[in-house]
């Protein structure tokens, strides 16, 4: 059976170099990564194939805290991304260790991010594996959509 994937695409009023920096630097990543109600603290960022990005995802929103508590999940989780491909200002690929879900055997999910310059700005295409079940996939998609909304807001404020 073929692995199912999800693709999201956005065009930003920005330069590719600006998007690249937000994915590849501690300050940049912390400024937008994580859905609404969460903040991110990068603990390690190794920008090389095989390098790890380790970050803490910290719930601070009341709704998010309540959801996590009801689900028996911690309010702070440490996440690990392992870079599998880097083409500066063109492509990033990594695997995300999914080891923070109660009762779910840890597994890796792949994600690729492609960047391109367009006359109207910078295009970013994200392709990611679906999650392990039909309940978590929509939640992961909602989280990514929320993160992309934060990224869009960042460029609106800068413009």
Structural contact between residues 118 and 131, judged by C-beta atoms closer than 8 angstroms: no
Report the SS3 class of residue 24.
Answer: helix
At 50-74, the pLDDT tens digits run 999 999 999 999 999 999 899 888 8
Nearest 5°: CA angle at 151, between 158 and 10?
110
At 80-105, the pLDDT tens digits run 999 999 999 999 999 999 887 778 88
Distance CA 65, CA 63 (A): 5
Question: What does the DSSP 8-state code read for residue 132?
Answer: S
Distance CA 79, CA 159 (A): 32
Please state whether the predicted TM-score (pTM) of the whole model is above 0.95: no
What domains are defined for the chain? 5-158 (3.30.530.20)
């Amino acid at each position: 059976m073929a692995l199912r994937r999800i693709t999201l695409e956005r065009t930003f009023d920005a330069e590719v170099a600006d998007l690249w920096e937000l994915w590849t630097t501690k300050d940049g990543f912390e400024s937008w990564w994580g859905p609404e109600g969460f903040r991110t603290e990068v603990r390690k960022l190794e920008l090389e194939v095989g390098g790890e990005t380790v970050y803490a995802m910290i719930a601070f929103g009341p709704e998010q805290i309540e959801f996590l508590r009801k689900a028996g999940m911690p309010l702070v989780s440490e996440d690990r991304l392992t870079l599998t491909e880097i083409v500066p200002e063109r492509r990033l690929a990594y695997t995300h260790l999914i080891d923070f879900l109660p009762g779910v055997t840890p597994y890796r999910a792949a994600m690729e991010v492609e960047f391109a310059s367009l006359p109207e700005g910078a295009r970013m295409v994200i392709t990611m594996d679906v999650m392990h079940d039909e309940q978590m996939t929509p939640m992961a998609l909602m989280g990514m959509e929320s993160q992309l909304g934060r990224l869009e807001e960042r460029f609106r404020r800068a413009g």
